[in-house]
Every structure is written in C-alpha cells, then in structure tokens.
Amino acid sequence: MNKSDYGKLAIDGGEPVMKGVLPPMFPGGLEIGEKEKQAVMEVLDNKYLFRYYGPEEHPSKVKMLEEEFAGKIGTPYALAVNSCTSALISSLVALGVGPGDEVIVPGYTFFASCAAILAAKAIPVIAEVDDSLTLDPIDVQKKITPQTKAIIAVHMRGAPCNMEALLEITRSSGIALIEDVAQACGGSYQNRMLGSFGDCNAFSFQFHKIITAGEGGMITTHDELLYDRAQEYHDTAACWRPGGPAKRFQTARYAGELFPGVNYRMSELTGAVLRVQLEKLDTLLAQMRKNKAIIKEGISDIPGIEFRRLNDSEGDTAIALIIFLDNPSLAEKFATTLRAEGVEANSIFNQGVPDWHVYSHWEMIMKKWTATPEGCPYTCHYHEGETPEYSPDMCPQTLELLDRSVHLDIPPQLSSHHCELIVEAFRKVSNAYL
C-alpha cells in the first residue's frame, strides 16, 4: 500500500483498523467449560475436597494431576501447591537456601520471583536481562559471589532462557538452578521441556497464565531428596509422609528430612480443574504459535522494527510478540497509537506507572523495607562480604531494552482475521512513524 492508502490515524480522528474488541489474555481461562464444571461437581458430590481424606475414600485429583504433570514435563516428581510463589519458596527451602545466602534473579520478572527469595530468608541479587528479555548469562557470571546459593531463571513472556549458558555457569560454580516457568508452561529449549532443567522448578496456574484454575502452582524436580524436602515444607502437618496421616510424626528417615513447614497445599477443587486444563495445553500453544506466526510474518519486512531475540524459537510458547524500536519516546507513541487502532499493545516507557515486572519499581527492595525493624535478611550476621545495594538505575541494559519495547499479547482465541487486522494496524502505524 502507498502512504496515502492507510488513511488518517485513529489517534488523529481517523477510522480505527479494529472495529471490535480483541479477546483478553486469559488463554486457558476463556476455555473454562463443561469439562471443568463436571470435574468440580465430581469433587463436590464425593465431598472429597481435601487430598488426603474425606467421609469416603476417593482417588485424589491433586495426586493424579501431579502424576500427569510430571509425565508432561519429563520429571519423575511433581508437587502441587497453591501458587507459583509457594512453589518458589518451597524450592528455595528444599535446596537449603537460607540466612547468609544470595540468590540471583532477573530485573525483569514479576515481583514474586524476588519476594520468594526474601521469604526464604536469603538476599536477592538483581541481574540484567539481554535482548531475549531473559537472564543475561554474562551479567549473571559477574554477580556471583561466595555467598551465591542459587539462580532463578525466569522464562519471561513465554520464551526460554539461554539454558545452555546458565547450566554451564551453575555446574561450574556448584550453584543451584531454579526455573521460574510461570509464564511459559509447555515451552521448551532444544526439544526439552522447560521445568525439566533446574534442580527445582516452579509453575503458575494463576488466571493470566496459559492454563489456569484461578490460582495454583507446581514444583518439578528430578531429585527425590528435593522432592521430599519440598513436600515437608509445603505441608506443615506432614500428611504426605509414607504411611499416611497416622505416620505423620514418625522419626525422620534421614538427616534433613523433617523440619517445620507451612501450608501451601493445593485443594482438590483446584486439582480437578487443572487436570482438564492440562489436556487443553497443547491446543492452546498450537493456536498461539499459529497466531504469532501470522502476525510476525506480516510485519517482518517493516524497516525500523527489531524483534525480541529468542533463545529457541521452536520452544517459544508464543504468548506475546515483542519488538524494539529506536528510542523510548517512539515506543510509547507507537504503542499508544496502536491502542487507538484497537490493538492492545503496551510500552514499558511510562516510568510514572509502576509495573511490578520491572525491578526499578520494586520500592520495597530498593529501600530494603522489611516486616520487622531489625532488617533481616539484609542485616543477617551469617552473611559474609558486602551486602548488595540496590538502586532504580542499577541495571541500565534492562531498562534500556524495556524502554524501547512494545509488547503485544497473543491470545489463542484470536481468529486469523484478527491477526490480519493486527498486521494492518502495525503497518498503518509504522507507515506514519518509521
């Protein structure tokens, strides 16, 4: 099309490309239907809402979910919990992370990835992301100290981290690796499922995630000892123990098996919904990948657009399309103009609007606020060496990339026509600004 063929921008009073409203980004949530209802009603009819017992014996939906999820990811062990935050905390505790330890976390992730470290009584060390918007292995290497106990690799916005580089770092340094797969359930790296690389790995089933029960989480691991310790921590009543509830207080089978924990158990209602959602995962991924391919191909020839680099394009869950533009002001203007055309794109540029996915907005971390005045874990006497310091500009590479980025969600419910109109909107806006 010629420049004049696109017409006036909607932001300037022209007709928007998209006349209707696009589906919101609730991939599995919008697919809740009769099967989920039937699964929930079965639990209610049986009055078996707690995974360990009820008025009558019935197979636990949560236990079946764990077995099915472990098979899907390719690990021998999976432990269902009530959130991804619980999964991260339990994983850290299982790995022995605690007072005096440091854990490296990316500067671009939901705040919970960082908060979990503090909940485990360790100190977060914030590292840069690279142009994949996942952990930058070069900066990770720089941030390692004798106090570093673990690295949390977040597969941000549905795309895998550079697992080859991160595994090389952790293996050579003797550091534990935790995968945060909250936004990338079903993704892969070099034909291996995400959540099967780390020592412990955490998944989310919150309503924005690919499959959902509103809330919920999962831990996966290859290590039986870590599995046992995560079980112990997530269930303070120790009902999971061999022999069932009657054996919950038996003597420890080995050193480090038994210790006080918390209650992060998943309910049978949540497990029932998630078993149905897990059956839908592959279909959801296939549709998002199809939609993203249409959109990406349709705008790939536009000069001035740089696509986010993918460490493994085949393993991308395709929940989002992310581009980089020349500068932050252009990214903000581009995203605002796309929204006027009916395409819900976003830029990170607006520094006045806190985004809890960006470290510079983590005021509680930047100022080291704690629940009690003594300031633990930052003041923990077990911590040797210098305590990490934080500032909003401590990861300039991360901020520079995010400031130039434009993000577009790719719901599986988009039709091919929707995708074609999104392409048209991108081309219309690009024609005006690039």
Question: Would you state the pLDDT for residue 157?
Answer: 97
What 8-state DSSP symbol labels residue 356? T
- Which domains, ranges and CATH numbers included, belong to the chain? 3-25+280-353+399-433 (3.90.1150.10), 34-278+363-386 (3.40.640.10)
How far does the chain reach from its first CA to its final CA, in angstroms? 15
Q: Which residue has the tokens 């091919």?
A: 416
Question: Would you state the pLDDT for residue 246?
Answer: 53
Question: Would you state the pLDDT for residue 205?
Answer: 98
Q: What angle do CA 94, 277, 22 make, to 5 degrees?
A: 115
Secondary structure (DSSP) of 265-330 = BPPHHHHHHHHHHHHHHHHHHHHHHHHHHHHHHHHTT-TT-EEPP-S-GGG---SEEEEE-SSHHH
**Cα-to-chain-centroid distance, residue 393:** 24
For residues 390 and 306, is the Cβ–Cβ distance under 8 A?
Answer: no
**Cα-to-chain-centroid distance, residue 376:** 27
Q: What's the 3-state SS for 384-427?
A: CCCCCCCCCCCCHHHHHHHHCEEEEECCCCCCHHHHHHHHHHHH
For the chain, which residues score pLDDT lower than 50? none
Question: Would you state the pLDDT for residue 101?
Answer: 97
Measure the CA–CA gap between 329 and 325, rounded to whole angstroms. Answer: 9
Q: Are strands 306-307 and 200-204 parallel, antiparallel or unpaired?
A: unpaired
Give the list of residues 6+ apart from residue 142 with CB closer than 8 angstroms, or none: none
Question: Would you state the pLDDT for residue 330?
Answer: 96
pLDDT tens digits for range 207-232? 999 999 999 999 999 999 999 999 99
For residues 82 and 217, is the Cβ–Cβ distance under 8 A?
Answer: yes
pLDDT tens digits for range 189-198? 999 999 999 9
pLDDT tens digits for range 32-79? 999 999 999 999 999 999 998 899 999 999 999 999 999 999 999 999
Which are the catalytic amino acids? 209
Question: Would you state the pLDDT for residue 258?
Answer: 82
Measure the CA–CA gap between 348 and 269, rounded to whole angstroms. Answer: 37
Measure the CA–CA gap between 92 and 78, rounded to whole angstroms. Answer: 15
For residues 324 and 403, is the Cβ–Cβ distance under 8 A?
Answer: no
Question: Would you state the pLDDT for residue 354?
Answer: 75
- The token pair at 294 is 């249409």
Greatest CA span in the chain, whole angstroms? 79
pLDDT tens digits for range 322-362? 999 999 999 999 999 999 999 999 998 666 667 899 999 99
- The token pair at 400 is 């520079």
Question: Would you state the pLDDT for residue 255?
Answer: 83
In this prediction the pTM is 0.95
Question: Would you state the pLDDT for residue 350?
Answer: 63
Question: Would you state the pLDDT for residue 272?
Answer: 98
- The residues that bridge with 204 in the sheet, in sequence order, are 217
